[in-house]
Amino acid sequence: MITGDLKPVAEIVPTIAEFKKVLVVGCGGCVSVCLTGGDREARQLALELAAQRHYTADPPDFTVQTIERQCETDWLETYFQVPEDVDAVLSLACGAGVQTMAAVYDPLPVIPALNTTFLGANIKQGVFQEMCRGCGDCVLAYTGGICPVARCAKGLYNGPCGGTNNGSCEIRTDVPCAWAMIFYRLKRMDKLDLMLEVRHPPDWRPGGGEGPRQLKAHIKEP
């Protein structure tokens, strides 16, 4: 899932201060699960942003709506409507949702309230960890289901490096070495021979090296 962090209020305020009426839009998708962009967070943010102390002039008027997914053009066009008197939208979606809404409602300003962070997994309640970089060349079949691109500080395709120390990464002792994890996982799987296969440098074109990527769903005609 895509995770995100709420921007500081002091960073958001200058981006909306010039507008008279701002629609704060929560997203019911990924950022709702990680408790940064759902309906509750949208309402809390609108309440905080309405405080006079943040502004030298009158604050904007805020209204709040939430849609299941802001990253789908059809969903926005079918199930969502921006009131006519709204001057700007403050979106609590990821960067994909912000850009999709901006395209659908062009030229209405659509402003991000979140910093999109990473593709992660919920490893325990309230804790999300980066697992994937969307590199376009998945090697998980050869690394015991542990991604060296996202989980190794150096993104090494062949490892470990000389900095690993008792299972920890050299950047910090509380960060596990991804390649140590890979080694022990492959050992438990009786697949240590995969560690001996030298991986050639990846082709980064599928990972965005040729510009924005696009996926076309395989839809069967009725």
How many C-beta neighbours within 10 Å does residue 210 have? 10
Cis amide leading into 160 (omega within 30): yes
Domain 2-118 fold: Rossmann fold (3.40.50)
24: nearest Cα among 86, 79, 77, 69: 86
User: Looking at residue 220, what is its pLDDT?
Assistant: 59
Could you give the CA distance from residue 140 to residue 143 in angstroms, rounded to a whole number? Answer: 5
Q: At residue 211, what are phi and psi to the nearest 5 degrees? A: 100, -175
Could you give the CA distance from residue 31 to residue 118 in angstroms, rounded to a whole number? Answer: 11
Q: What is the pLDDT along the chain (222 residues), one digit of tens a residue?
A: 899 999 999 999 999 999 999 999 999 999 999 999 999 999 999 999 999 999 999 999 999 999 999 999 999 999 999 999 999 999 999 999 999 999 999 999 999 999 999 888 988 888 888 899 888 888 998 999 999 999 999 999 999 999 999 999 999 999 999 999 999 999 999 999 999 999 888 777 776 666 776 666 665 555
Handedness of CA 49, 50, 52, 56 (dihedral sign): positive
Q: What is the pTM of this model?
A: 0.83
Instruction: Name residue, tokens 């989980």.
Output: 151
20: nearest Cα among 66, 62, 83: 62
Which residues have C-beta within 8 Å of that of residue 12, sequence separation ≥ 6?
Answer: 45, 49, 90, 111, 113
CA angle 150, 41, 78 (to 5 degrees): 90
Which residues have C-beta within 8 Å of that of residue 162, sequence separation ≥ 6?
Answer: none
Could you give the CA distance from residue 27 to residue 4 in angstroms, rounded to a whole number? Answer: 12
User: Looking at residue 221, what is its pLDDT?
Assistant: 57
The boundaries of every CATH 3.40.50 domain in the chain are 2-118
Q: At residue 103, what are phi and psi to the nearest 5 degrees? A: -70, -40
